[in-house]
Amino acid sequence: MLKKNGLEKRPHVVCIGGGTGLSVILRGLKNLPIDITAIVTVADDGGSSGRLRDQLQMPPPGDIRNVLIALADTEPLLASLLQHRFRSGGELDGHTLGNLMIAALQEITGDFTQAVKEMSHVLAVRGRVLPASEQDVTLVAEMSDGSIVKGESQIPKTGKKIRRVFLHPPDPKPLEEAVQAIERADGIVVGPGSLYTSILPNLLVKDMTETIRASQATKIYVCNVMTQQGETDDFSAYDHIRVIYDHVGEQLFETAIINNEVPPGSILNRYALNHQCMVLPDKGRIQQLGCQVIADNLLLYHSVIRHDAQRVSQHIYRLISDRMKRRQSG
């Protein structure tokens, strides 16, 4: 921890994204001496989240649930319980218990953000979890052939290359607490996660990118390690950043953290069956965007490839701490 006015100051880190990728990184960051705010996409319209969104007119809780569990200081059994998905048929089929609990808390409190805060207390979450917006938004994509596809869950299924994505209605109002968190952040981390359906929906919320760009925080992009079928087929690390810049403008990130370890052939072959491959670490092209690059072995192997959360978190913490130290000494 760093000193501020003679007192210890924990760096405040804002993490922006959604889906599995953000949750993996947060599991590493929560063990470091930092204050975390996670800002999570609310564009999901599939599965349990989509059904609750339609039936209860609430923001989709699925990505929020995953992030809450990632940051929770609770028993593994409780985490498994909240992730339990009913498979017994009937109206509960496909719903997760955690989603239903967030929905219930919204009915009790009358407010989605307050419901997330109450769930955070129940789970002893290390940090804050905030939706990017409380408005009902739909993710829309224009495909390479000019066709329009509506809905986050539908976009990767078309088999067509995505030209751009946007939100409907355009410029949804951001959650004020999320904007304030970015304004006072020492570090802002975007990614990893689905490029078009988890990362960009956050950055397209009104004023979100402008607030990040105006912040004095260290701005870091953590790139995916594998491509995603229907979204980033054959993308390199440079391609991921290029797409973000094409949507929201240049020079948003100061540093990109990318994987440079090649997975074993047997694992690559298994991913190839799903038309996925390793994201190539084209460091030189990223540097041409004015972005510093940290390339490292960031892989962990389970049943699937995941980021090494501890190693990525250490890189993030060092980057933010070094900047804070330079400011104090300067």
Are both 218 and 284 inside the same structural domain? yes
Assigned token pair, 138 = 């739909």
Task: Calculate the CA dihedral of residues 275, 277, 283, 286 and round it to 10 degrees.
Answer: 20
Domain final position from 79, 106, 127: 127
Are both 232 and 260 inside the same structural domain? yes
Are both 63 and 180 inside the same structural domain? no
Q: How many CB atoms lie within 10 A of CB 176?
A: 11
Are both 92 and 142 inside the same structural domain? no
3-state secondary structure of 22: helix
Are both 252 and 122 inside the same structural domain? no
Total domains in the chain come to 2
Are both 191 and 81 inside the same structural domain? no
Query: Phi first, then psi: what are they for 259, rounded to 5°?
Result: -85, 135
Residue-by-residue pLDDT tens, the chain, 330 positions: 555 544 468 999 999 998 789 999 999 999 999 999 999 999 988 889 999 998 998 999 999 999 999 999 887 888 899 999 999 888 899 999 999 999 999 999 999 999 999 999 999 999 999 999 999 899 999 999 999 999 999 999 998 999 999 999 998 999 999 999 999 999 999 999 999 999 999 999 999 999 999 999 999 999 999 999 999 999 999 999 999 999 999 999 999 999 999 999 999 999 999 999 999 999 999 999 999 999 999 999 877 899 999 999 999 999 999 999 988 876
CB 243 within 8 A of CB 195: yes
The residues near 142 (Cβ < 8 Å, ≥ 6 apart) are 148, 162, 163, 164, 165, 166
Are both 260 and 299 inside the same structural domain? yes
Residue type, 307: H
Domain final position from 108, 127, 146: 127
Assigned token pair, 17 = 């994204």
CB 138 within 8 A of CB 42: no
For residue 16, the domain's CATH number is: 3.40.50.10680
| Cα–Cα nearest to 131, from 211, 63, 34, 69 | 63
| Cα–Cα nearest to 98, from 121, 82, 74 | 82
Structural domain boundaries enclosing 169: 2-41+132-329
Assigned token pair, 246 = 């094409």
CB 195 within 8 A of CB 231: yes
Are both 65 and 36 inside the same structural domain? no
What is residue 85's DSSP assignment? B
Domain final position from 66, 97, 127: 127
Distance between CA atoms of residues 140 and 17, nearest Å: 17
Residue indicated by tokens 């949507």: 247
Are both 30 and 77 inside the same structural domain? no
Q: How far is CA 187 from CA 1, 144, 252, in A?
A: 14, 35, 13
Are both 212 and 227 inside the same structural domain? yes
What pTM was computed for the model? Answer: 0.94
Are both 206 and 100 inside the same structural domain? no
Are both 264 and 293 inside the same structural domain? yes
What is residue 125's DSSP assignment? B
Rounded to a whole number of angstroms, the distance between the first and last alpha carbons of the chain is 18
